Amino acid sequence: MLSPAVEILHLSYTYPTGQVALRDICLRIPVGEHVALVGPNGAGKSTLLLHLNGLLTGQGEVRIFGVPLSPATVRQIRSQVGLVFQSPDDQLFCPTVFEDVAYAPIYAGLSPAEVEARVRAALAVVGMSAHAERSPFHLSLGEQKRVALATVLVMQPAILALDEPTAGLDPRGRRELMALLRTLPQTLLLATHDLDLVRLICPRTVVLERGEIVADGPTEHVLSDPAFLEAHGLA
């Protein structure tokens, strides 16, 4: 049987401050599925995403394509799971867009020709080809978010974990990014407060609250009950 892209088994995490962020999370995401992770502020969405490629390590197990995440496998798993942070400032730091997108493939030791080809392809996917020589810090937030996505797509990850991809965008930027995300073929776990985005691209929705999964099912069901949405801070 094909291993799921992501399997999380009884994962719990407490920050060093003592703040409990995840409690006994179990989640299975088959290959190719687009899953939304929703819930009120502080529910644990970002914390959960940070566990997918070992940036945080809690109690329990995370398996990527059946391989348990461990110090021995974390490097391989980071090449399979592309994590895009909420703030592009956490992802962009080079003088030009091209250099930011080229950073990971250069670091991975790819040939200059391969780096060039991959960067051009990733910038084309996110519609930023014309901006390769610009400073990322002179771009709009929407453009920065596209470049941040390109810095991850360039490594051709099979799984994408996106934290609040549409937060802070104006209506046009949001619409354009939604259209782009809709075309991505990867397995997708999307943490967001944007329920229109969820309805558009995620057939399945997981609701987190205070570190626990309180609902997991077809988006049309999970998001259809106004009383449930209100009770969980989603309305």
Ligand X SMILES: Nc1ncnc2c1ncn2[C@@H]1O[C@H](COP(=O)(O)OP(=O)(O)OP(=O)(O)O)[C@@H](O)[C@H]1O
Contacts of 214-221 spanning 24+ positions with Cβ under 8 A: 214/39, 216/27, 219/36
Whichever of 119 and 207 has its CB closer to ligand X, that residue is 207
Give the interface with ligand X as residue ranges (CB under 6 A).
15, 17, 19, 21, 39, 41-47
Whichever of 39 and 88 has its CB closer to ligand X, that residue is 39
Q: Could you tell me the two tokens for 39?
A: 């819930």
Whichever of 8 and 128 has its CB closer to ligand X, that residue is 8
Whichever of 134 and 210 has its CB closer to ligand X, that residue is 210
Whichever of 44 and 105 has its CB closer to ligand X, that residue is 44
Nearest-approach distance from CB 39 to ligand X, in angstroms: 6
Nearest-approach distance from CB 60 to ligand X, in angstroms: 16
Nearest-approach distance from CB 47 to ligand X, in angstroms: 3
Sheet containing strand 187-191, edge to edge, reads: 81-84, 159-163, 187-191, 34-38, 204-209, 212-218
Nearest-approach distance from CB 213 to ligand X, in angstroms: 12
Nearest-approach distance from CB 204 to ligand X, in angstroms: 18
The DSSP bridge partners found for residue 12 are 59
- What are the CA-CA distances from residue 109 to residues 113, 145, 147, 155 (Å)? 11, 25, 21, 12
Among 92, 86, 83, which residue's Cα sits nearest to residue 128?
A: 92
Q: Please count the other Cβ atoms lying within 10 Å of the Cβ belonging to residue 2.
A: 8
In angstroms, the CA 3 to CA 129 distance is 36
Angle of the 97-107 helix axis to the 112-125 helix axis, nearest 10: 130
Query: Which residue is it, tokens 């782009």?
Result: 180
Whichever of 136 and 211 has its CB closer to ligand X, that residue is 211
Nearest-approach distance from CB 140 to ligand X, in angstroms: 22
Among 206, 196, 201, which residue's Cα sits nearest to residue 169?
A: 196
